């Protein structure tokens, strides 16, 4: 890896080895060179006290200038590494979405073929609608380039509107999150949580209205997703059937806690809370 520093409209590429050599040689040459010059040439023209004061000031100036430059280079390197990690997380998520889409559609097409052979037209139509929904969601997830600046709130609101049109379920959303509050990798996981939760609502809840409330503060953030559907109990359905295990895995990646409450005939509520460690 190299570090690029812009100076006077020219690119200088500094390797780690070069930085190490500069760190060793620059203070040594400047301070050691002055001491050599002081004792060989300026011995009779510069008193010991004046020389001590001068070398102290010179050491301070050299140390300040060199450390300022060095820490600036390190900070730029760290920022670049962080940006590369965020982009890698985004591309890894897209690869996961592509695999998930492929597997889901392949399985659905197999079931569609089975239903068509048995003459189950109604079931086949339902599977076609399911494929259409998954394709729409995948297109939405993959449409925006990672480097393009898109507001998390705007992206979420648009996805919820599209989901409402496809599912026929009314959506009420409130998103109060400052721009840049979440890192790109956090946005991926939180957006994935929202998608997973609302896909479960569409598949299982038979709800008429679904609500999303997401707020942030300096101490942390809170997201509550609720629907007025049929609800469930642990005796009637397993958490895996509702995809809740995947939701919890995503929440764990952003160090958030998940609390799920449901009651038959009264809907389901998912409360996800994350802390802000900065």
Q: pLDDT tens across 71-122, in order?
A: 887 788 777 777 777 777 767 766 766 666 666 677 777 777 877 888 888 7
Sequence-separated (6 or more) residues with CB below 8 Å from residue 181: 216, 221
Report pLDDT digits (tens) over 47-63. Answer: 767 767 777 787 788 77
Q: What is the DSSP letter of 223?
A: E
Q: How far apart are CA 175 and CA 215, in angstroms?
A: 6
- Say if CB 270 and CB 197 are below 8 A apart: yes
pTM above 0.75, yes or no: no
Q: How far apart are CA 112 and CA 270, in angstroms?
A: 32
Per CATH, which fold does 151-278 belong to? Heat Shock Protein 90 (3.30.565)
Report pLDDT digits (tens) over 156-197. Answer: 998 898 888 878 899 999 999 988 888 877 888 898 899 889
Q: How far apart are the first and last CA of the chain?
A: 27
Q: What element of type H or E holds 154?
A: helix 152-167
Strands (E) located in the chain: 3-7, 10-14, 170-176, 209-216, 220-227, 256-263, 267-275
Q: What tokens were used for 120?
A: 């189950």
Sequence-separated (6 or more) residues with CB below 8 Å from residue 12: 4, 5
In the chain, domain spans: 3-81, 151-278
């Amino acid at each position: 890896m190299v570090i690029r520093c812009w100076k006077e409209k020219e690119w200088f590429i500094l390797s780690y080895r070069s930085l190490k050599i500069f760190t060793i040689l620059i203070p040594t040459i400047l301070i050691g060179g002055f001491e050599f010059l002081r004792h060989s040439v300026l011995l009779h023209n510069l008193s010991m006290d004046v020389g001590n004061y001068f070398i102290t000031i010179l050491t301070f100036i050299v140390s300040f200038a060199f450390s300022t430059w060095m820490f600036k280079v390190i900070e730029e390197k760290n920022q670049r590494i962080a940006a590369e990690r965020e982009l890698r997380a985004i591309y890894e998520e897209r690869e996961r979405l592509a695999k998930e889409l492929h597997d889901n559609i392949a399985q659905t097409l197999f079931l569609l073929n089975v239903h068509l052979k048995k003459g189950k037209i109604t079931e086949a139509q339902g599977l076609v609608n399911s494929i259409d929904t998954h394709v729409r969601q995948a297109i939405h997830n993959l449409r925006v380039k990672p480097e393009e600046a898109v507001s998390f709130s705007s992206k979420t609101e648009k996805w919820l509107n599209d989901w409402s049109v496809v599912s026929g379920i009314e959506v009420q959303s409130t998103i109060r999150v400052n721009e840049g509050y979440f890192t790109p990798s956090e946005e991926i996981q939180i957006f994935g949580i929202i998608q997973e939760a609302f896909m479960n609502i569409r598949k299982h809840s038979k709800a008429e209205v679904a609500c999303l409330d997401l707020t942030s503060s300096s101490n942390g953030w809170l997201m509550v997703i609720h629907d007025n559907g049929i609800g469930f109990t642990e005796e009637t359905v397993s958490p895996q059937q509702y995809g809740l295990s995947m939701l919890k895995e995503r929440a764990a990646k952003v160090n958030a806690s998940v609390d799920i409450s449901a009651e038959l005939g009264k809907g389901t509520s998912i409360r996800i809370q994350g802390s802000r460690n900065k």
